[in-house]
Amino acid sequence: MFFVHLNTKIHHTNSKLQVNMKKIIFIMLLGLVCNTINAQIVTKQELEEYTNIGDMSWSAKAKELSNEYKLNELGELSLSVIKEYKGQSKSQLYRKIIDWVISMSSDAKSAIQVSNEEEGTIIARCYLPNIAKRTMGDNSYRVSIRPLIKFDFKEERIRMTYTLQNYEVLKINDDSGYVIMFGGGFGVTGNGVTKDTQIWALSDCFPFTENRQHPKVTSSRAFVYSLSCYKILVDKIDTVLKKPLQTSNDDW
């Protein structure tokens, strides 16, 4: 939260009051935009760079990846990586990650679910919106994910666990676009645009079941892009941990 002092006089005339109000609203919106940018962990460009299916179809690529990446007994996609950082203490690694999570979150209190420096554990919820999109006739699907990221710290080592529990899907149906002619005019059929937010369990989606309840290609894209998100996060965190720890300078 921050406050901005406007060095302008607010006059009692309606026109000048409107000008000043526009300035205030603009600055408030600018603050909201900054929060959104800071919270954007994975960009669309990065997602495309990390996702390469070549000449394969989305479903074929998803099926191939499912041979290596399987669901656990809870029906979750849980992936772990352990990395070493020579010369860095458990406390230093912890502080770097907690600072990174705070800097990338618009609301750190809701993002950080567990933080215990003594035990060496951080659990954060990460929101990655619209990682996969697909339009099928009147239906459009937009898939977002909220993986849990757990960090375990030891001297010179860190383990990161990425757990995806489900897909969050916004289904948009637009059946208002069919035009029929009535004499010299026209009419539009259909009931208009409807939106429905759904939770898709990974175990109900392709490639983890053939008796799928959800569209095959949409599920395939969501799975492939979810793995790309994991790889992007691993690389970003590796970059953060290789940087020198930022320390405050009290001699000012």
Tens-of-pLDDT digits for all 252 residues of the chain?
333 333 333 344 444 444 444 444 333 433 333 332 234 578 889 999 999 999 999 999 999 999 999 999 999 999 999 999 999 999 999 999 999 998 887 777 778 899 999 999 999 998 899 999 988 777 899 999 999 999 999 999 999 999 999 999 999 887 655 444 444 444 444 455 678 889 999 999 999 998 888 999 999 999 999 999 999 999 999 999 998 876 655 555
Asked whether residue 174 is assigned to any structural domain, the reply reads: yes
Q: What is this structure's pTM?
A: 0.75
Report the alpha-carbon distance of residue 111 to residue 105 in Å, rounded: 7
- Residue-range definition of the domain harbouring residue 120: 41-242
The CATH number given to whatever domain includes residue 117 is 3.30.530.80
Task: Using alpha carbons only, give the angle 92, 93, 99 rounded to the nearest 5 degrees.
Answer: 90
What's the number of domains the chain is made of? 1
158, 241 in Cβ contact below 8 A? yes
Q: Give the tokens for residue 4.
A: 């901005």
Asked whether residue 56 is assigned to any structural domain, the reply reads: yes
Asked whether residue 16 is assigned to any structural domain, the reply reads: no
Closest CA to 130 of 104, 79, 168, 165: 168
Asked whether residue 159 is assigned to any structural domain, the reply reads: yes
Asked whether residue 78 is assigned to any structural domain, the reply reads: yes
Contacts of 96 (CB under 8 A, 6+ apart): 240, 241, 243, 245
